[in-house]
Amino acid sequence: MTEKGGGAPAARAVLQQCLQATLQVKPADEGSEAQFVQIDRGLVMYICFFKGATDDILPKMVSTLLNLRLSESDSGKLVSILELPGSLLIVPQATLGGKAKGRAMQYHNNISKEDGLRLYSSFVALCEKELMAAAAAPARTGAEVTVKHGTYGNRQVLKLDTNGPYTHLMEF
Amino acid sequence: MTEKGGGAPAARAVLQQCLQATLQVKPADEGSEAQFVQIDRGLVMYICFFKGATDDILPKMVSTLLNLRLSESDSGKLVSILELPGSLLIVPQATLGGKAKGRAMQYHNNISKEDGLRLYSSFVALCEKELMAAAAAPARTGAEVTVKHGTYGNRQVLKLDTNGPYTHLMEF
């Protein structure tokens, strides 16, 4: 669960494999309908950064998450999202940083909204880069890889269809 | 996140509020179709017990999880599942105990299957008891409360529809 020795984590991720997932990226308003992104088979990553998190953790975090064997292949073998090959839906999820105080959840350890947005954007960009590189590798020609992601700070209206979410927690 | 000071947790829970959730409780076989349970608005609890967990942790765990304000009421106010009033879907999720070793997840800290089943069954029974008691309270007459749960050891084929899962992690 924790990749760091001892200290408080800088980031937390919850991971669920899916058959399909749909996420709202823009709520409906007077002028337009709500907008959604969708992935088929792949991995949903809920991501939260804590106070003190910096860009330094991102390369290892992305590499670990994309290479961990968290998905089931057609043959039932566990493979990484890079090997599946599958799609990735990244969901900013600040609530993951919550800590119970009495009956309420508090988020005092969460990163500031501004820094969180910056790290989240870099995280998404790095995932896109790695997945695209993997898809372009000679052995993979033609593999379909998609990275979709929610918009930071918005409500993450999510629909998830799984064949067993196989929920994992990782901290960095 | 952790309710214990320092040491390794005895149990881990991931919590997501939902508008509707459907979980397979019996896979299809030659003689019969797959069976599912379903809840409408409420809370999905993914539960995992670690080695060393005992019945002693259950009363506090159940009371904490049922009373934490993790759900949004119609007015947008955060309320507990007891206050919502809402339904509860309990999902055994041993993968939550996973720890990365290289690219593979390992589950060496998970409780034995036998002890896990016993604790899971007691956890479900306690949740049912508390939710039913809350529903029967004079101020709540008529409130619809349902507890549904997955079958331990099976694949947890899950479909989730949310208005924002509002994912939280709790350890005990």
Q: What's the CA gap between B88 and B80, in Å, rounded?
A: 11
A12 touches chain B (CB under 8 A): yes
Average pLDDT, integer, range A60-69: 96
Other CB atoms within 10 Å distance of the CB of residue A78? 16
Structure tokens belonging to residue B67: 């009373």
pLDDT tier at B140, thresholds 50, 70, 90: low
Helix, strand or coil for residue A85? coil
Q: What is the DSSP letter of A160?
A: E
Is there a contact between B16 and B163 (Cβ–Cβ < 8 Å)? no
Q: Exposed e or buried b for every residue in A42-55, given b needs 16+ CB within 10 A? A: bbbbbbbbbeebee
Q: Is residue A1 part of a domain?
A: no
The ipTM, to two decimals, is: 0.93
Q: Is residue A3 part of a domain?
A: no
pTM passes above 0.90: yes
Q: Is residue B3 part of a domain?
A: no
Nearest to A164 among B1, B104, B155 (CB): B155
Q: Is residue A109 part of a domain?
A: yes
Q: Is residue B1 part of a domain?
A: no
Indicate which CATH number applies to the domain containing B95. Answer: 3.50.80.10
Please count the structural domains in chain A: 1
Q: What's the CA gap between B8 and B129, in Å, rounded?
A: 28
Going by DSSP bridges, is the β-strand pair B87-92/B42-49 parallel, antiparallel, or unpaired? parallel
A141 vs chain B: nearest CA distance in angstroms? 23
Q: Which domain holds residue A139?
A: 11-171
Is there a contact between A170 and A13 (Cβ–Cβ < 8 Å)? yes
B105 vs chain A: nearest CA distance in angstroms? 7
Has residue A109 got a pLDDT over 90? Answer: yes
Q: What residues of B are in contact with residue A166 (Cβ under 8 Å)?
A: 95
B63 touches chain A (CB under 8 A): no
Q: Which of A130-144, B5-19, B21-35, B106-120 has the lowest mean pLDDT?
A: A130-144
Q: What residues of B are in contact with residue A165 (Cβ under 8 Å)?
A: 46, 93, 156, 158
pLDDT tier at A144, thresholds 50, 70, 90: low
Q: What's the CA gap between A56 and A54, in Å, rounded?
A: 5
Q: Is residue A2 part of a domain?
A: no
Q: What residues of A are in contact with residue B158 (Cβ under 8 Å)?
A: 160, 162, 164-165
Higher pLDDT, A3 or A40: A40
